[in-house]
Amino acid sequence: MRTGSEQSVRTPGAGARSAFPAARAAGVVLTVAWLALVGWLRLRPVDVPWVYGANFDPLATIRRDLALGPARAVRSFASGLALLAPLGFLLPLAGGRARASAVASFVRTLLAGWMIAFALACAQTWVPGRVFDIDQLMLNTAGIVVAHLAVVPAVRGRLRRRAGAARVGDNPEKHVGGGSPRGVTIGAIRGSTVDSSA
């Protein structure tokens, strides 16, 4: 058996903190990969005989799709919502703030997501066969918001609970008083006493 002096001393919460940089790196990589996929899908020229003009009138494209039938409308709405929806949880993951305020996280994600969607909508104006559409911008941003609210609060709450459990595990309730080194518990000292007596 090891003596009390040989017991390893762990920093409280070290396991929980060490997991966050890995998650943040994964978030950055996945965000860049998704944006690359979106750029490949939406910034390629489209070979079509004609296209609708640019739309700066909110809900005009949505009303037009509804007039063309429910199937067309559902397909258009679903594609608009899903295009950038993963950014709703990838951006907070890339930020790596497990203990951030829910409101602050939502506002940051909304602003960053809207700027990405707006940049994409503007970039499309330089691509043959594609035009600016404010309704698509609205749907892209709405998809980010829905994904964020559906995923981030639950995941962040789970991470906080895991971090709290790690802190409790790293700080046993029974410590030897009187200036004993942190992490040396009564059980460890009893074990060292048995070794010395043997």
143-171 per-position pLDDT tens digit: 999 999 999 999 888 877 877 777 776 66
Across 25-34, 42-51, 135-144, 179-188, least confident range: 179-188
Beta strands in 29-173 (DSSP E): none
Cβ(142)–Cβ(81) below 8 Å: yes
**Burial class of residue 100 in the structure, from the number of CB atoms within 10 Å of its CB (0-12 exposed, 13-18 middle, 19+ buried):** middle
Q: Which residues does residue 55 pair with via DSSP β-bridges, in sequence order?
A: 133
Q: Which amino acid is at 3?
A: T
* Residue entry with tokens 């994409």: 120
Q: Tokens 């296209």 identify what position?
A: 51
5 class by beta-carbon count within 10 Å (0-12 exposed, 13-18 middle, 19+ buried): exposed
Tokens describing residue 190: 């009893």
Domain positions in the chain: 10-197
Query: What's the whole-model pTM score?
Result: 0.73
With beta carbons less than 8 A apart as the criterion, state whether 30 and 93 touch.
yes
The pLDDT score that the predictor gives to residue 171 is 65
What confidence tier does 194 reach under pLDDT thresholds 50, 70, 90? very low
Question: In this structure, are residues 120 and 42 in contact, taking their beta carbons and an 8 Å threshold?
Answer: yes
**Residue 187 pLDDT greater than 60, yes or no:** no
Flag whether pLDDT at 134 surpasses 80.
yes
- The owner of tokens 């506002």 is 107
